[in-house]
Amino acid sequence: MQGCDAGLWCGSRAHDEPLMTSLVLASNNAGKLREFAELLAPLDFQLIPQATLGVPEAEEPHVTFIENALAKARHAARLTGLPALADDSGLVVPALGGAPGVHSARYAGEPKDDARNNRRLIAALRGIADRRAHYVAVLVLVHHADDPQPLIGEGEWHGQIIDAPRGAGGFGYDPHFLLPDLQRTAAELDAAEKHRRSHRGQALAQLVAKLARQRDGGPEASPENGQTHGR
């Protein structure tokens, strides 16, 4: 077996699993695929979108981000026989009782459509002064479909919702998600700055750190050493 390179996992588990060089990304969201390709570029993974392997989207019936992410990761791993990385993420607006939440991608119904979702969000906030909001991302990596110790990373990105969209970058609710400290929306940030700040960048940093500990023969990720769980 070849040595461990940066970003690869060299089985220190009970079953001496092989190096994880190919990784199925359990998403068909074009914006997420682009962001993950950029975020994982420094690592040595061969990132394979699930659609290229004929994997259909998994059901997302759960009420928490972590349950949906885990279901998607196991689904992709089971159908491909490869390690899988899944993301469940969304926008949480306290004044709307946490909505859109896990329904962020389909907030305005099927088919998924960012523009319609944004229009519904702004309409729901009409007359509401409290515009606080935060993005949540939960990433789950499984080495195989029945992996008993999935690696989990979680991040939050806080801002507020504005009525008029600004910026041409990003996707989803980014044009309406204002960062008060910058007075710019997420859609006005360049890719590098967004990755440094975003919920998805934070979650991936956690995940990579845990992967590195496994690679180096450190303790398995657990609640006692930093694994986080959905809210």
210 is in an annotated binding site: no
**Collapsed DSSP state (helix, strand, coil) of residue 191:** helix
89 is in an annotated binding site: yes
27 is in an annotated binding site: yes
> Which residue in 88, 114, 130, 146 is the catalytic one?
88
28 is in an annotated binding site: yes
Cα-to-chain-centroid distance, residue 92: 14
Residue pair 145/80 in contact (Cβ under 8 Å)? The answer is no
Whether 87 sits among the annotated catalytic residues: the reply is no
75 is in an annotated binding site: no
* Cα 204 from Cα 197, distance rounded (Å): 11
Question: Cis omega before residue 111 (within 30°)?
Answer: yes
The interaxial angle of helices 30-39 and 199-215, nearest 10 deg, is: 50
- Tokens 């990132």 sit at which residue? 47
173 is in an annotated binding site: yes
164 is in an annotated binding site: no
Annotation: binding site for Mg(2+): 59, 88
Question: Which residues belong to the active site?
Answer: 88
Annotation: binding site for substrate: 27-32, 89, 171-174, 194, 199-200
Annotation: binding site: 27-32, 59, 88-89, 171-174, 194, 199-200
